[in-house]
Structures are given as C-alpha cells and as structure tokens.
Amino acid sequence: MPTNAPNPGSNAEESSSNFPFVGWLRDVAPYIHSFREKTFVIAFAGELAQEIGLENLIEDIAMLHAMGMRIVLVHGIRPQIEEQLMLRKIKSQFGQSAMHSYRITDAAALECVKEAAGELRLDIEAAFSRGLPNTPMAGSRISVISGNFITAMPVGVVEGIDYIHTGLVRKVDSTSIKLSLDSNKIVLLSPLGFSPTGQAFNLAFEDVAASTAAALKADKLIFLSPYTGLKDEEGDFITELSMPQLHEYVAQHPELDIGMKGLLNISGRAIRAGVSRVHFLPCNQDGALLEELFTHDGIGMMLASSDIENLREASQDDVGGILQLTSPLEEEGILAARGQDVIERDIHRFSVIEHDRVLFGCAALFPFPNGVGELACLAVDPDVQGSGDGERLLKRVEMRAKREGIKKLFVLTTRTEHWFLKRGFKRASVDDLPEERKQIYNWDRKSMVLTKDL
C-alpha cells in the first residue's frame, strides 16, 4: 500500500464518529427489512393526545408506513369523554368486575362519546394530512380510511348493573380492512361499534385493538397506555413475558390495577388468537414507538407465546445438541474448544433455545468474583441465523446474570465483535478481565475482550 494511501479501518471509525446517523441507519436496517409488509395494530390511549400531543406520534407512524409496514391505528378517548361530560355537567358512572372497569353509557353519555371520538378522529386525519416543508411529513402522501369496520354487541346487565350503550366487539370486518391495507392506506379505528340494527356502542379501545389484531393475525399489537409496566421481585421492570409467565404473575399479584389486569387479559386473548407479539409502551414518552421497534433492548414489555417459552436452562439430555452446535464453530476457530466432558460438567451453566424439540441455539454464563460474569459458547444454528434467536439467548443470559447478582458481563470473541457492539457491549482489554480468567486467557487465539454493564 502506498504510504499516502488512506487507512480503511481509520476511515470507517472517522465516518462513524463524524456521521453517527450512518451507524444508526446500518443498525436499524435489519429491522426495516424484517418489518416490511408486516401488519401492525397500534393502539394509543386518549391520554397521549393530551400529554404529549399527536404530532410526533403521527410522524413516527407515517415513517413506518413509508418503510412498507401495514398500519391499523386505534385511538382511545377516555379523557376526551370526561371533558365532554364536564362541559355538559354530567357525572361519570362506572361499573366494575374482577377484570374490567366499564363506563355506564346512557343516552347523554353516548352523545359525549360520539363528540369526543369525532373530534379526535378529525385531529388525527388532519395530522396525517400535514405536508409542510422541513417537517418529517414533507412529501408524504398518506391516505387514511375509517368506517364501520366494527360490529358491536351490548355488555348488557352484569351483576345487576345495566351498562346500556357500552358494548363489546362482536365481529371485525377483516376483509375490508385487508383490502384497505393492500391499497396502501392506513386504517383508523375509533372505539365505537354498531349493531346490525344501527345502534351505536361505546367500546374500550383495547378491545377494538385486540379484536382487530386477532382478526388480521397481526404480526404486532402495540399498546401505548398510561399504565406503568410490571416489575419483578427485585423491583426491576419486566421486559419479556410468555403466556405461562403472565398467568403466574397475575395470580401472584392480586394488587394489580384493574385497568392493567384488563389490558393483560385482553392481550392474552390476542396471543391465543394468533397475534405474534404484544408490546406495552408508555403513552407519555415521545418516541417510545420507534425506540421499541428499532433498538435491541426496546423500552417497554413484550408478551409472546412460543419463542420465549422455548428458551430454557439446559439439562444433561442437551449435551449432544450443544455439541452439534458448537463443534463446527470450534473447528473454524470461532469458539474455544470444549470437549464433551467439559460441557457435561458445566451443563447447568447453559441456556438453550429449541423449536419442535430440536436445539437451535445455546449460550453459557460463568460467574466470577465481584459481580462479574462471562458469556460463553453463544452459538445459533446457521439455518435460523437472522431470526433473532441469538438476541433472545443474549437476553436470557442477561436476565439470568441479574438474578445471580452479576453486574457486568464480558465476552471473548475472535470474529463477532460488531454483533456484540451493536447490542451494548464495549471494547475492553485483557487487563479488564477478572484475575482468575486472565490467568487462563489464550494468547494464541488473541480473542477480543468486550464488556457490558447490566
């Protein structure tokens, strides 16, 4: 190379530091490819419009639409209904069951519901129509369609309380919604439904969103609500739950807010009906939607049925499967060599992910003094690479490390440095390793050292 030739490595570093958006675009590209043509039902509480306004959320949704995602948007109107009731000096009335709190909607309250829904729907449509220069909506051509997609039925009389015009979703016109999505439109649904006789009913926006997501077999159902997330026994927010874990959590926490109970119950119904993922985000945090979708750790909680359930701790029966995953990587020099006897000895330190009783990935956690742990043997079957199994295993190890009181993880790698850097690890040196690990460091492999604070 000529002496005056630029160094490709240093140029890459300079480009990344001077233009951080380049790195960001590269990081989010896999998510964009993965989400394209996927159906998202996004539901936001009426509190969002009051607390942070519609403008930024609509711009974020317009960006998702421009990336090729099929969007159904559902809005809530509870605080807007309260405003209309106060203006007319009408007192709010509610009835409560074990899992739900329903508004009692008499004829006067129904007029307030219609007024609130119509006003907010117009505000949303107006926000999608903005195309001012020098704004994220510049040049956008977004068509929003709404209509009588929801057939409703009355809640009726429950425990002696007549809920009058309060209803439940009976049927979703999924065919018409899919035709609209196929025509590149955003479908906007208000929490109102109509009976076959033309009677209007006040619905919970959560019910509308979950029923619509179930009817469409949506890839994601996303709630932006005022409810705070769930916390584990250590007081940390839970980021992922499987359906069995959800049932166990609700049973162990009877003190849960009834609104949150209802939201979890209706989300579980959507999962059982075929919705792939349900996400719970704060409605008072600007940019929460984008942060959840386009960052590794996200910002809220995710509920799923299958993938999380397939993550478990390893047993002796898994030794053969782990060897099949790790042996090819050991031969290539990607992983340090471990014999069968070593894996059998350390099997309690492994976590695995399986599909149809076949292992597709593994990872191990080894503790060291002073709250430090080593992530080792992270391997995923080549046939499923890119499906997110590696990330799920990493999260599993991180959660396990936290339970064991580990505050910092380190990993040694020869070829996958950038994969770990994108997931929160930072470059370190051999001197940063625990003394016990430093003594057995293989200087022939010259593995890079990466660390991550938990």
Is residue 282 located within the same domain as residue 240?
Answer: yes
User: Residue 381: what pLDDT?
Assistant: 86
Among the ranges given (80-94, 203-217, 321-335, 382-396), the one the predictor scored with the smallest mean pLDDT: 382-396
Tell me if 12 is assigned to some domain. Answer: no
Task: Note whether 272 and 235 are same-domain residues.
Answer: yes
pLDDT class for 30, splitting at 50, 70, 90? confident
pLDDT band at 22 (very low <50, low <70, confident <90, very high): confident
Same domain (yes/no): 48, 135: yes
Whole-model pTM over 0.85: no
What span, in angstroms and rounded, lies between the C-alpha atoms of 411 and 452? 9
pLDDT tens-digit map of 167-187: 999 999 999 999 999 999 999
**What tens digit of pLDDT does each residue of 403-448 get?**
999 999 999 999 889 999 999 999 999 999 999 999 999 998 899 9
Cβ contact 83:51 at 8 Å? no
d(CA 344, CA 168): 54
Beta carbons within 10 angstroms of residue 130's beta carbon: 16
327 vs 204: CA distance, rounded Å: 53
Residue 19 lies in a domain: no
What total of structural domains would you count in the chain? 2
Co-location of 416 and 368 in the same domain: yes
Q: How far is Cα 173 from Cα 177, in angstroms, rounded to an integer?
A: 6
Amino acid present at 191: P
Tell me, yes or no, whether 5 lies in a domain: no
Question: Does one domain contain both 277 and 367?
Answer: no
The domain in which residue 445 lies consists of: 310-453
Domain-ending residue, one of 304, 325, 352 = 304
- How would you list the strands of the sheet with 448-453, edge to edge? 311-313, 350-355, 358-368, 372-380, 408-413, 448-453, 426-428
- Indicate whether 386 belongs to any domain: yes
